[in-house]
Structure 1
Amino acid sequence: MAEEGAGPVRYERDGHVVTITYDRSERRNAIDGDMRRAINAAWDRFRTDDEAWVAIVTGAGTAFCAGADMRSTTGNPAGDFPGSFWERPTVNSLESGWEIFKPIIAAVNGPAVGYGVTLLTWCDFVIAAEDATFSFPEARIGVPTIVGALRLPGMINRQYAMELLLTGETIDAARAHEIGLAGWVVPPADLMTEARALAGRLTAGAPLAQRAIKEMAVRGPEMGSVEAIRFGETLRRVAGATEDAAEGAAAAREKRSPRWRAR
C-alpha cells in the first residue's frame, strides 16, 4: 500500500483503489485553509494518477466533515481565488465541480455538514454508518449554500432537497437512505469493509469505459437529446479504440477474466 500526506489529508493507494481520509479529527475534520489545500492536492493526485481507478473518501475519528472552519487562521476554507473579484474562478475544488470521471465512493462515518454534504453530491456512491448525520446549516447562519443548491435537487427528490437546504435541519442515516441521499446504511464497524468491497467490484470493470459512462451520465442531462447521443457515440468510438476494448473482446472469446490496463 502506498501512502502519502502526513497532514490534514491522507492519500493511500492499495492496488487500484485510493482512500482519501480527511484527517483533522481535533476539529471534526472541519476545513480550514491548510486542509483545503491538502484536499485539493489529494483529489488532483487521484485525478492524474494512472494507477488510481476508484476512490473512497472518508473522515478520521468520529466525523466525516464538519464543513468550513469559520475560525480558520490559515486561509479561506473555500480555497484560494487569485486576481480581482470578477476574475475569480468558481470551480477550484471537487465540491465546486472539478471534473473527475473516475468512480468515487463516500464512506460517511459521522456528521456530514455543509461542505461534507456538498462533497456527497459529486460522489457516485454513498455508504453511511448507522450513526452518520447530514445537514446544510447555512440557512440558519445567514449564508446561502450555492453548489449544494445546484446539485442536491438533481440527486434526490426536489422537495426533500429543499427541506434540507432551507430548514438547515439535521437528518440521520435512516432518513438519508429513505430520501436517496445514502445508498446503503451499515453498522459503523462494517463501513470501510463495505466501501472496499464495492471498490473491488468496481475494479472488475474496464476503467476507461467506466469513465466514459460517468462522463455521459454527468454531461448528458445538460445536453439536448440529439447532441447527447452524438456525444455518447463519440465516447463509444474513442473507448472502443483502446487497448482495454481489445482486451475485453479477447477475454470474452477466450472465456477468461480480462486484464485491464487503463490504456
Structure 2
Amino acid sequence: MSDEEFLVDRHGPVTVLTLNRPQARNALNGSLIAGIGATVLEAEQDSGTRALVLTAAGDRAFCAGMDLRAFSGGEDVGFSDTPENRAFQRLTRGAVEVPVVGAANGTAVGGGLELLLGCDLIVAADTAKFGLPEVQRGLFPGGGGTYIAERVPLGIALQLTLTGEFFSAARGYEIGLINAVVPAGQVLDTALAFAERIAANGPLGVAACKELVRLSVTDPERAAERLRHWQGVVFASADAKEGALAFMEKRDPVWQGK
C-alpha cells in the first residue's frame, strides 16, 4: 500500500485515518481497504486508542465508493476472506469495538455513504452531498446502505433508497443522520472534538453504550441479554469506583479500562 494513499495520525487517544486519493475522489481500492482494516485491527488491540476519526483528503469528495477501475481490473476490493477485509466489513456494519467518528469533508455517495453509515457519529461539510443512487443503475446499495433505516425513519430510508435521490448535509442533519454540519475547514476539528470527548470517558462504559444502543435498534432481545452482561462488568469495575471517587475529589478520573 502506498503511504500516500492512506494516512494515519495520532492525536493522543484518538487515531485519525485519512483516505488520500483525492484525484480518484477517494474511491476505495484494494490497498486502501486493507489499510483501513489493518488500522482498525491495531486500534482494537491497543488499549490506548479510545476513538477513531475517519476522514478524507481534498474538498470535493469524502469517498465515491468502490474504485470501479480497480474492480474491473480484477483487484481484490474487500471481498476476499482476510483479517483486514473482515475488519473493514465490520466497520461498514458499525461493529468496530472502538467508537468511530466520520468526518465528511465532501460528497459521499454509494459506497462512500455506506462507509459513513458504519460510523457512530458523522460530521459533514455544509457543501457536501449524499446519496444512495444504486437503483438508478439497476443495482441496490448492497454494501450496507439498506441499513440506513437503522439511522433514520423508515419512510425516509425507503424514499432515499427507492429513488436514489441526493440530499444535502443540512437535510441529513434534519433527518438525524448527521450529527453536525460545519464549514468545510472545520470538519476535522469538529470530529476530533467529538472523538476527544468520547475518549475522555470510561472505556468500559463507552463500549457498553456503543454495543447496547446499536443492538436496541437491530436486535432488542439480544440487547436485553447483553445489558445484563454489561451491568455485571461495568458496575463492578475499578473504573466505576474511580469515576465516583474522582467526582467526589473534584478531579479528572484516571481510567484503567477494567
Q: Same fold (TM over 0.5)?
A: yes
Specify the code of the residue in structure 2 equivalent to 1:78: G
How big is the shift at 1:125? Answer: 0.9
Question: Within 1, Cα distance between the matches of 2:122 and 2:10?
Answer: 20
Counterpart selection for 1:8 from 2, 5, 10:
5
Aligned residues: 253
TM-score by length of 2: 0.88
Does structure 1 retain, via aligned residues, the 8 Å contact 2:93–2:144? no
**Structure 2 runs not aligned, ≥5 long:** none
Task: Compute the TM-score of the two structures, normalised by the length of structure 1.
Answer: 0.86
Q: How far off is 1:64 after superposition?
A: 0.7
Q: Which residue of 2 aligns with 1:255?
A: 250
User: Do the aligned partners of residues 223 and 181 (structure 1) sit closer, same or farther apart at CA in structure 2, a change above 3 Å counting?
Assistant: closer
Does the CA-based 8 Å contact 1:129-1:186 persist in structure 2? yes
Q: Percent identity?
A: 33
Confirm whether residue 43 of structure 1 aligns to residue 60 of structure 2: no
Change (3 A) 1:149 1:194: closer
Residue 106 of structure 2 corresponds to 110
The CA deviation string for residues 91-113 of structure 1, in whole angstroms up to 9 with x for no partner, is 86234436223221111100112
User: 1:65 maps to what in 2?
Assistant: 63
Give the superposition deviation at 1:229: 3.3
Give 1:104-253 correspondences, 5 Å limit.
104-224=100-220, 228-253=223-248
Amino acid of the structure 2 residue aligned with 1:65: C
8 A contact 2:92–2:144 mirrored in 1: no
Does the CA contact (< 8 Å) of 2:40 and 2:88 recur in 1? Answer: no
Cα RMSD over matched residues? 2.4
SS in 2 for 1:94: helix
| 1:259 alignment partner AA | V
8 A contact 1:9–1:42 mirrored in 2: no
Are 1:93 and 2:85 matched, yes or no? no
Q: In the superposition, relative to structure 1, how do residues 124 and 96 fare at CA in structure 2: closer, same or farther (>3 Å)?
A: closer
Q: Which has the higher helix share?
A: 2
How far is 1:149 from its partner?
A: 4.4
Q: What's the secondary structure of 1:220's corresponding residue?
A: helix
Q: Gaps (5+ residues) in structure 1?
A: 83-88
Bigger Cα displacement from structure 2, 11-20 vs 93-102: 93-102
Per-residue deviation, residues 127-179 of structure 1 (Å, max 9, x unmatched): 11111111112112222213434410121022221222122222121121122
